[in-house]
């Protein structure tokens, strides 16, 4: 009884916080269904008077945003697959395989975490230009293919694999790559899911690098296309909201489906501090 009032107050504050947090997203969805011009009225409308799909149709026909949607999907999926293979191999080796120079190499990699990506961006652009990779999908995914944070995440998880398990396989004559493929990968599956969500989200959401590398509109990813459209169509509020929904929806759905895995990754990040 004594705790009823504080509890009520606490939940009221939480509910208000949740409302403020969701409001911009809910308004985005609502406005995307409003007839043209209805989002620019006073007082503002919260719900569409007559819900319409016209702006979504517009996105896929007149603006041909379906193409950029596919670009984003391709870039995010390719980044995820490549980084899973590269980072899991390296992370496992740093945790479990004894090789000379291991600790020193790992320390150098960790030190790289303090260097912001922008420091290397200009030369990286020139390098890719020299390799003929500017304005290509490969150029977009280059920064995502291998990552220190991903390697670190896999390593922390792989440390808990019992050495006996690996040694038993070695006694049976299994090669190191076979051990990795048939024993290690199934064991570290949970952290692979975490890494996959992390990489997919950052590749999907990234803006600055694809903005720099891509010059051809047909190759734009959704964020770059959206930013360029928002300049031309600044008056078409409802259309821009439909475009925003299209961009945000896949990552929100992915987060809701795999939030356990994602949250574990965020918490692991704090361990390294």
Partner 1 sequence: MRGSVERRQHRAGWAFVTPALVLIGVFFFVPVLAGLFLSFTDFDIYAIGRPETVRFVGLANYARALSNSLFWQALGNTLFFVLVGGPLSVVTSLVAALLVSSKLTRFQGLFRSIFFMPVVTTLVAVAIVWRYLYQPQYGLLNWLLGAVGIGPVDWLGDARWAMPAIILMTVWKNFGYNMLIFVAGLQSIPEELNEAAELDGAGGWARFVHVTLPSLGPTFLFVGVMTMLGNFQLFAEPYVMTQGGPLKATTTVVMLMYDEGFRWWRMGMGAAIAFVLFVIMLLGTMLQLRLQRERRT
Secondary structure letter of residue 38 according to DSSP = T
Of 54 and 134, nearer to partner 1 (C-beta) is: 134
Q: Using the rule CB under 8 A, which residue among 70, 132, 162, 170 binds partner 1?
A: 170
Of 45 and 67, nearer to partner 1 (C-beta) is: 45
The verdict on 63 binding partner 1 (CB under 8 A) reads no
Task: Enumerate residues 215-244 that contact partner 1 by CB under 8 A.
Answer: 222-224, 226-227, 230, 237, 240-241, 243-244
Q: Using the rule CB under 8 A, which residue among 93, 192, 195, 214 binds partner 1?
A: 93
The verdict on 51 binding partner 1 (CB under 8 A) reads no
Of 52 and 202, nearer to partner 1 (C-beta) is: 202
Q: Using the rule CB under 8 A, which residue among 109, 191, 195, 196 binds partner 1?
A: 109
Output the CA–CA distances (angstroms, integers) from residue 118 to 108, 145, 190, 215, in the order listed: 19, 17, 32, 19
- In 3D space, the residue among 64, 78, 25 whose CA is nearest the CA of residue 225 turns out to be 64
User: Under 8 Å CB-to-CB from 101, ≥6 apart: which residues?
Assistant: none
The verdict on 201 binding partner 1 (CB under 8 A) reads yes
The verdict on 156 binding partner 1 (CB under 8 A) reads no
Alpha-carbon torsion (19, 22, 27, 29), positive or negative: negative
- Name the segment binding partner 1 (CB under 8 A); options: 61-69, 73-81, 175-183, 185-193: 175-183
Cα 99 to Cα 120: distance, rounded to the nearest angstrom: 30
- Name the segment binding partner 1 (CB under 8 A); options: 47-55, 56-64, 144-152, 185-193: 144-152
Cα 118 to Cα 123: distance, rounded to the nearest angstrom: 10
Q: Using the rule CB under 8 A, which residue among 27, 35, 138, 183 binds partner 1?
A: 27
For the bound state, the minimum distance from the C-beta of residue 50 to partner 1, rounded and expressed in Å, comes to 19
Cα 22 to Cα 17: distance, rounded to the nearest angstrom: 9
Of 52 and 176, nearer to partner 1 (C-beta) is: 176
Alpha-carbon torsion (79, 82, 86, 87), positive or negative: positive
What is the number of other CB atoms lying within 10 angstroms of the CB of residue 257?
Answer: 11
Crossing angle of the two packed helices 148-158 and 102-111, in degrees rounded to 10: 130
Q: Using the rule CB under 8 A, which residue among 2, 6, 160, 186 binds partner 1?
A: 6
Return the structure tokens found at 266. Answer: 């965020």
Q: Using the rule CB under 8 A, which residue among 122, 159, 168, 257 binds partner 1?
A: 122
- Name the segment binding partner 1 (CB under 8 A); options: 53-61, 62-70, 122-130, 188-196: 122-130
Cα 42 to Cα 25: distance, rounded to the nearest angstrom: 20
């Amino acid at each position: 009884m004594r705790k009823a009032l504080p509890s009520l107050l606490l939940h009221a504050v939480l509910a208000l916080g949740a409302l403020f947090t969701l409001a911009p997203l809910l308004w985005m969805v609502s406005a995307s269904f409003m007839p043209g011009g209805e989002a620019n009225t006073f007082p503002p409308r919260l719900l569409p008077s007559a819900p319409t799909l016209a702006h979504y149709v517009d996105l896929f026909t007149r603006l041909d945003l379906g193409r950029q949607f596919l670009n984003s999907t391709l870039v995010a999926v390719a980044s995820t697959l490549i980084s899973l293979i590269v980072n899991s191999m390296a992370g496992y080796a740093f945790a479990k395989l004894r090789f000379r120079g291991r600790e020193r190499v790992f320390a150098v990699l960790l030190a790289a975490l303090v260097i912001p990506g922008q420091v290397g961006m200009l030369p990286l652009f020139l390098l890719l230009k020299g390799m003929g990779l500017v304005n290509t999908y490969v150029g977009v995914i280059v920064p995502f293919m291998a990552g220190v944070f991903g390697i670190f995440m896999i390593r922390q998880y792989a440390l808990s694999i019992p050495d006996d398990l690996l040694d038993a396989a070695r006694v049976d004559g299994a090669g190191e790559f076979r051990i990795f493929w048939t024993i290690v990968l199934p064991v570290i599956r949970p952290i692979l899911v975490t890494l996959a969500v992390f990489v997919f989200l950052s590749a999907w959401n990234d803006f600055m690098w694809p903005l720099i590398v891509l010059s051809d509109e047909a190759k734009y990813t959704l964020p770059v296309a959206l930013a360029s459209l928002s300049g031309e169509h600044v008056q078409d509020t409802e259309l821009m909201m439909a475009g925003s929904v299209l961009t945000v929806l896949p990552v929100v759905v992915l987060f809701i489906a795999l939030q356990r895995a994602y949250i574990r990754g965020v918490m692991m990040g704090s361990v390294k501090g």
